[in-house]
Structure 1
Amino acid sequence: MGKYRVAVDVGGTFTDVFVFDEKSKDIFIAKTASTPTNPEIGVINGIEAANISGDDISVFSHGTTAGTNALIERKLPKTALVTTKGFRDVTEIRRGTKLDLWDAYKDVAPPYIRRRDRFEINERVDYSGNILVSVDEQEVIELARILKRRNVESIAISFMNAYVNGDNERSVKEILQRELPDVYISSSSEVLPEIFEHERTSTTIINSVLGPKVTKYIDVLQNQIKAKGYDGEILVLHSGGGVMTSENVQKYAGRLASSGIAAGAIASKYIAELCGFKNAIGLDMGGTSTDISLVYDGELKTTKEWYIEYGYPIGFPSIEIMTIGAGGGSIARIDKGGSLRNGPESAGSEPGPACYDLGGTEPTNTDANLILGRLNESLLGGEMTLNKDASQKALEPICEMYGYNEFEAANAILKVANANMSDALRLISVRKGYDPRDFALVAFGGAGALHSAYLAKELSIPKVIVPAHPGVAAALGCLLVDFRHDLTKTYVANTEDIETDTIEQEFLKMEQEAIKLLKNEGIDKKSMNLIRHLEMRYVGQWRSLEVTVGRHLTSLDAALENFHKEHERAYAFSNPDQSVEVYGFRIEAVGIVPKPELPKEEPVGTLIEALREYRNVYFEETGGFINTPIYHRPSVPVGSIISGPAVVEQLDSTVIIPPDFVAKVDNYKNIIISLKGVVE
């Protein structure tokens, strides 16, 4: 058995590696450039950069952007849809909505499956699950012949009302698997047995188009790591904030559509709890984008209304994350109206910001931070040197447009970036009924700590937490997750009519399936935690809210009371006299696994010993450049108090403490930043 727990998070710019030594409790990290064309190469490079061999690894956990990127880039296998006669165009009709309500000329992206590859079967199930028209085997065999001739690699099956009775879907799947044994097949009754044909069909299609690609990627990675000596399972993070084995990845490939993004949210929750905060907003700012999540009362908020491309929803439960195009590589530009904009376009890792000297010529947030002295010209422990002259040249068009000098232009770029992120923070908090003043801001990613203090000031967030290893915090999140599956079922009934025994029986059926999934992943019964949720809504409503319920229900009174309270919090309205109906059931099946415990540190050395140099750094609030102390973060002892202005540098990130802020280092080496006069 190895002694290292290894987690790898593949981002758009960097691949991050977090290594925890189970015996010594030591932590070490590595960062390598991502390889978008073959992401497994970046993973292997990261493991090699950490200088460990495969047989030293006891647990390998992995967050990947392979699914997300495949959908965005449309690099997908040839896939067919098989559906009920008359419903071939459900995925193209969608809901008839647009992302921008006022743009009549901007169309929604085309369906993932072209119309010529969507086929109809003569079958019918009524609303209550009665089979009115059974499947004709010869019709399916003929369809298989056509699909084989077209070299189809994957098939999605989605029949009307299959959510209440999936027998016809199962019959078709069995025939197609027999006739086309090498083709990947998903059926909606297995993937997402829920009402609403568009959402169910869309999720099944996404599961199917990702299946072959994601499965191949995991297989290649598994073989390459095995060749290095690791013979355990690759645990893959999924959208719901848990991990799956490679076997379940094959069945639920669509859950990897936001795999890497979820890791940062999990890490922010853990770090906030270490610091004593039950409410936290996670700010994961990388090279390409910023991912924002919210923890309330110790729980990450989840959603079932999400997508990678608008118009094609994914119905799997997912940690609620808002992603905006604001990263270190986000490009600043002047729009047609003469306004300064920032993002969402990014220079990424290739060619990267102008200062990378890899061919990039447009100004980015990284270039702006370098010009203002906030970033060192030497990064990643001296492995990367930034070219300030290239950054200055990239800023020239903005300087000429507004009559700025290079420092004013750089400061303006960062102010626009901060405004974009502040708006996103308001959307995930204020707009959903949460007061930012009740939260801590957990800032991580390679660039999060460069901007976090200004965002906190804008939203009156009292504390900013910068973890010990902010640049690889998302990778840490991959080590903090349990096995998790979410099983759902639509069931509509008025709470006045439904018997609690009926609810109990439905939950018991779902729990049996959940236990089977967890057993297949090696989880013993003592480590299983099955949490029940009821979807509820006022009669006549379209949307529902989820309420957690206990086992052995004898009454719905407590569930109804909690529903009214949650409705009041979410929408500033509730009506206890209004009839409520149950809309569906969900089982949150968690297989608890041992997690690394980060060690507490004792003070070693002094803050003066951690001081490396003084550098002129630009702060608008001081009227320009000010001689600023630069600290080496690994040498900063716990218990230290750092008064701004100050810069704290480390391998994977840079922390900015503005002039009117002060920071304290806790026993876990987290830097907690607050306005002067507020620090405890």
Structure 2
Amino acid sequence: MNTSAGQSVRVACDVGGTFTDVCVLNEDSGEIHVAKTPTTVDPIDGVLTGIDAADVALKDIALFSHGTTLATNALITRRFPPALMITTKGFRDVIEIRRGTRDDLWDTYKEMAPPYLSRRDRLSVSERVDYAGKIIEEVDEKEARELARIIKKRNISNVAICFVNSFVNSKNEEKMRDILLEEIPNIKVSLSSEIMPEIFEHERFNTTVANTVLSPVAGDYGAELEGRMKDGGYKGEVLLLHSGGGVMTAKGATHFAARLAASGIAAGAIASRFIAELAGYKNSISLDMGGTSTDISLCSDGELHITNDWHVEYGYPIRFPSIEVLTIGAGGGSLAWRDAAGALRNGPQSAGSEPGPVCYDRGGTEPTNCDANVYLGRLGRKLAGGRVELNVNLAEKAIERVIGKPFGLSNEDAALAILKVANANMADAVRLVSLRKGYDPRDFALVAFGGAGALHGVALARDLHIPVVLVPPNPGVTSALGCLLVDITHDLTQMYVAKVDGADLGDLNAKFRAMEEEGRERLAHEEISPDRMMFERFIDMRYLGQWRSMSIPVESDISDLDAAVQKFHQEHGREHNYSRPDAPVEICRVQVRATGLNRKAELAKHPLGPKEPPAPIGTRPVRFDEEEQRIETPIYDRASLHAGAQVQGPAVIEQLDSTIVVPPGITAEVDQYLIIKMQVPQRS
């Protein structure tokens, strides 16, 4: 795709651990072009290389949006500039004590990850605010200036200030900040009362600390990427995807950097919803299966679920709103193994990109899902347009040695068993995001994407009684497409504790208006015009005496809360399987989502042609789950399948970034947006 003629394009880039995916949308035609390049040590080099590989000139890019694992990796590896936390005396160890829970309750020997700041980097000062916001003890100025001297001596430029109860009165935090700025004018200070003005010290402190340590990482990265792109002729803003399913400018990312910690997985969920709605489905479940993991999310009635309870590493919550995505260790490279009890297991261990699956012939010795698929004929012997050749003989030997002989199975049955365990793991995860939340999978479409999702889509749909499977036009770069479908968003929250029947509606509306004004200022700072601003209000409600709450949307200028309370009872009954309409309901928090509207990507719409597909490009013997032996199966090139074409299973459809398995009895139909739709008959 050459843009030398001055065509205006939108470019999205998703940087993963192995590949950098680039998705290019022609604004005039709606046609999509993709490119895939290896991720580089400096991810910016990989981004620019990917854009170049897509044959796009920077001067022709009208909008650039970017999802990245930069923040996630920085938290996991603890590679960020030195930082300090200043807290109330006696609360220095809150972020290390955590909540006293464990990721694996029964494994007392499993080490927890350390906090983002070591104990020597957590300082304290005398001050105290009570639960109601009354200042019991002002900041000890002498102690505060001594801390400033220590910080200056240690040459620290990033500080988080996290005081107890500052969410109801921030004056002590502000005084501490002012003293630091007097003593060290260039220091960067984050206040917990600004970053996350909510109750619960551990969650607020850890979110602020995560934001502080990531701020220079995200800020430097965004500024450098934007600078290098503008040097090449790009005239717009670099937009970075954040956890809540929106984007921020590079400037915004400096202030709310921790929101980038779930950047990549949010893009896939957004793209999945978009694909499902184009195909006519408001309810959808996304299955983003890559090389190492699978990300699963749910969209009901056109809305993605948002959570405030998420983390990169267990025990260290980040309370910024995030699209609810469940990630499990099931990917193309997940290893099949036998546990101490003699049971067949699959993942979460992975062969990774190096050495990779055994069939890659790069030194891998343990069989993976990829090895099982290539041995059964579901995958061809070449991937990525022929750049990767797969060794079927090596895959078979590994399957026989590790699974076949120990379990007394034939090699084919062993390969089938590997995939059945992987599918069972993914099916259990889908149940967690659907049945556990009160949703019936039979009411949803399954959107299968990522490099490996379409290999397993129909098998999962059968296990879960899902009636239809959708495969996007470019499954392997669908997450990058998600970056082109989002708006600039900011989520603002404030604690507000009151019983519903005693709430002061005037005060409640005033708090909403104040947050909307703050959101308006943030969007204006990011050069969003007033006519492109939108504000949504939410009230978090709970039954009196509970501490878990549910977010309920409300109209602007609330005149009564009856509709919101009724909605709360309804949602509580759906998710928790019980409601108490006669019990008192309490408000615990108010939220505003401030949105700067972008023009959304639109895919080209193609006229429907004849049902007869083009001739297959070849055949090969493939073993399917339902069959006793291999079937000589036609192989189709997806690029040749026109809108309206129907491929009868058994069949395999191949493309540059993915492979689609169409089992016997299933029909793959190409719709007007080139989405492949497979209806899955339900077994009695």
Deviates more, 1:338-347 or 1:254-263: 338-347
Which runs of at least 4 in structure 1 moved beyond 6 Å after TM superposition? none
Change (3 A) 1:180 1:334: farther
What SS does the corresponding residue of 1:536 show, helix, strand or coil?
strand
Does the CA-based 8 Å contact 1:12-1:288 persist in structure 2?
A: no
Does the CA-based 8 Å contact 1:377-1:386 persist in structure 2?
A: yes
Query: Could you tell me the percent identity over the aligned residues?
Result: 55
Which residue in 2 is equivalent to 1:647?
652
Equivalent-residue separation in structure 1 for 2:268 and 2:413 (angstroms): 33
Does the CA-based 8 Å contact 2:467-2:681 persist in structure 1?
A: no
Which residue in 1 is equivalent to 2:468?
463
Deviates more, 1:118-127 or 1:483-492: 118-127
Does the CA-based 8 Å contact 1:13-1:288 persist in structure 2?
A: no
Are 2:229 and 1:229 equivalent residues in the alignment? Answer: no
- List gaps (5 residues or longer) in structure 2: 1-5
Q: C-alpha displacement at 1:584, in angstroms?
A: 0.8
Which residue in 1 is equivalent to 2:98?
94
Does the CA-based 8 Å contact 2:455-2:659 persist in structure 1?
A: yes
Does the CA-based 8 Å contact 1:2-1:58 persist in structure 2?
A: no
Within 5 A, what are the aligned runs for 1:163-242? 163-181=167-185, 183-242=187-246
Does the CA-based 8 Å contact 1:2-1:55 persist in structure 2?
A: no
What SS does the corresponding residue of 2:626 show, helix, strand or coil?
helix
What SS does the corresponding residue of 1:621 show, helix, strand or coil?
coil
Q: C-alpha displacement at 1:676, in angstroms?
A: 4.8
Which residue in 1 is equivalent to 2:3?
none
Which residue in 1 is equivalent to 2:136?
132
Does the CA-based 8 Å contact 1:12-1:287 persist in structure 2?
A: no
Equivalent-residue separation in structure 2 for 1:608 and 1:268 (angstroms): 26
Q: C-alpha displacement at 1:276, in angstroms?
A: 1.1
Specify the code of the residue in structure 1 equivalent to 2:596.
G
Specify the code of the residue in structure 2 equivalent to 1:48.
D
What SS does the corresponding residue of 2:502 show, helix, strand or coil?
coil
Change (3 A) 1:521 1:173: same
Does the CA-based 8 Å contact 1:4-1:19 persist in structure 2?
A: yes
Q: C-alpha displacement at 1:12, in angstroms?
A: 2.6
What per-residue deviation string (whole Å, max 9, x for no partner) do you get for residues 325-364 of structure 1?
1111212222222222211122222332222233333322
Which residue in 1 is equivalent to 2:627?
622
Change (3 A) 1:358 1:45: farther
Does the CA-based 8 Å contact 1:238-1:244 persist in structure 2?
A: yes
Equivalent-residue separation in structure 1 for 2:174 and 2:381 (angstroms): 60
Equivalent-residue separation in structure 2 for 1:677 and 1:95 (angstroms): 44
Are 2:580 and 1:555 equivalent residues in the alignment? Answer: no
Specify the code of the residue in structure 1 equivalent to 2:95.
T
What SS does the corresponding residue of 1:620 show, helix, strand or coil?
coil
Q: C-alpha displacement at 1:64, in angstroms?
A: 0.4
Does the CA-based 8 Å contact 1:184-1:212 persist in structure 2?
A: no
Equivalent-residue separation in structure 1 for 2:395 and 2:225 (angstroms): 37
The partner residue of 1:83 within 84, 87, 94 is 87
Equivalent-residue separation in structure 2 for 1:315 and 1:248 (angstroms): 17
Does the CA-based 8 Å contact 1:610-1:632 persist in structure 2?
A: no
Change (3 A) 1:516 1:363: same
Deviates more, 1:139-148 or 1:264-273: 139-148
Change (3 A) 1:610 1:185: farther
What per-residue deviation string (whole Å, max 9, x for no partner) do you get for residues 635-676 of structure 1?
112112222111111111111111132221111111111225
Are 2:83 and 1:72 equivalent residues in the alignment? Answer: no
The partner residue of 1:337 within 336, 341, 355 is 341
Which residue in 2 is equivalent to 1:416?
421
What SS does the corresponding residue of 2:352 show, helix, strand or coil?
coil
The partner residue of 2:546 within 541, 549, 556 is 541
Within 5 A, what are the aligned runs for 1:317-466? 317-395=321-399, 396-466=401-471
Change (3 A) 1:413 1:179: farther
Equivalent-residue separation in structure 1 for 2:220 and 2:493 (angstroms): 28
Does the CA-based 8 Å contact 2:610-2:644 persist in structure 1?
A: no
Specify the code of the residue in structure 1 equivalent to 2:24.
V
What per-residue deviation string (whole Å, max 9, x for no partner) do you get for residues 522-550 of structure 1?
22222211010001111111111111110
Deviates more, 1:573-582 or 1:444-453: 573-582
Specify the code of the residue in structure 1 equivalent to 2:179.
I
Which residue in 2 is equivalent to 1:484?
489
What SS does the corresponding residue of 2:558 show, helix, strand or coil?
coil
Equivalent-residue separation in structure 2 for 1:563 and 1:61 (angstroms): 36
Equivalent-residue separation in structure 1 for 2:681 and 2:423 (angstroms): 21
Within 5 A, what are the aligned runs for 1:92-171? 92-171=96-175
Which residue in 1 is equivalent to 2:584?
579
What per-residue deviation string (whole Å, max 9, x for no partner) do you get for residues 56-101 of structure 1?
2111100001111222223233222110111111111211111222
Deviates more, 1:348-357 or 1:554-563: 348-357
Does the CA-based 8 Å contact 1:153-1:212 persist in structure 2?
A: no
What SS does the corresponding residue of 1:586 show, helix, strand or coil?
strand
Specify the code of the residue in structure 1 equivalent to 2:49.
N
Equivalent-residue separation in structure 2 for 1:528 and 1:613 (angstroms): 53
Specify the code of the residue in structure 2 equivalent to 1:40.
I
Are 2:35 and 1:30 equivalent residues in the alignment? Answer: yes
Q: C-alpha displacement at 1:47, in angstroms?
A: 1.1
What SS does the corresponding residue of 2:452 show, helix, strand or coil?
helix
Which residue in 1 is equivalent to 2:508?
503
Change (3 A) 1:541 1:319: same
Change (3 A) 1:596 1:554: same
Equivalent-residue separation in structure 1 for 2:44 and 2:185 (angstroms): 27
Are 2:288 and 1:284 equivalent residues in the alignment? Answer: yes
Are 2:69 and 1:61 equivalent residues in the alignment? Answer: no
Does the CA-based 8 Å contact 1:83-1:121 persist in structure 2?
A: yes
Within 5 A, what are the aligned runs for 1:505-544? 505-544=510-549
Equivalent-residue separation in structure 1 for 2:228 and 2:341 (angstroms): 51
What SS does the corresponding residue of 1:496 show, helix, strand or coil?
helix
Q: C-alpha displacement at 1:508, in angstroms?
A: 0.6
Are 2:671 and 1:666 equivalent residues in the alignment? Answer: yes
Deviates more, 1:211-220 or 1:654-663: 211-220
Does the CA-based 8 Å contact 1:616-1:625 persist in structure 2?
A: yes
Deviates more, 1:62-71 or 1:153-162: 153-162
Q: C-alpha displacement at 1:44, in angstroms?
A: 2.0
Equivalent-residue separation in structure 1 for 2:222 and 2:504 (angstroms): 45
Does the CA-based 8 Å contact 2:14-2:264 persist in structure 1?
A: yes
Q: C-alpha displacement at 1:182, in angstroms?
A: 5.2
Change (3 A) 1:645 1:178: farther
How many corresponding residue pairs? 677
Does the CA-based 8 Å contact 2:608-2:671 persist in structure 1?
A: no
Deviates more, 1:197-206 or 1:12-21: 12-21
- When normalised by structure 1's length, the TM-score is 0.96
Change (3 A) 1:358 1:247: same
Which residue in 2 is equivalent to 1:274?
278
Change (3 A) 1:637 1:211: same
What per-residue deviation string (whole Å, max 9, x for no partner) do you get for residues 157-208 of structure 1?
1100111121221222233345445554322111100011111011111111
What SS does the corresponding residue of 2:63 show, helix, strand or coil?
strand
Equivalent-residue separation in structure 1 for 2:146 and 2:615 (angstroms): 74
Equivalent-residue separation in structure 2 for 1:575 and 1:604 (angstroms): 55
Q: C-alpha displacement at 1:139, in angstroms?
A: 2.4
Change (3 A) 1:537 1:49: same
What SS does the corresponding residue of 1:446 show, helix, strand or coil?
coil
Equivalent-residue separation in structure 1 for 2:359 and 2:370 (angstroms): 8
Does the CA-based 8 Å contact 2:7-2:26 persist in structure 1?
A: no
Equivalent-residue separation in structure 1 for 2:530 and 2:422 (angstroms): 48
Change (3 A) 1:216 1:407: farther
- When normalised by structure 2's length, the TM-score is 0.96
Which residue in 2 is equivalent to 1:16?
21
Specify the code of the residue in structure 1 equivalent to 2:541.
M
RMSD of aligned alpha carbons: 1.8
- List gaps (5 residues or longer) in structure 1: none
The partner residue of 1:264 within 252, 263, 268 is 268
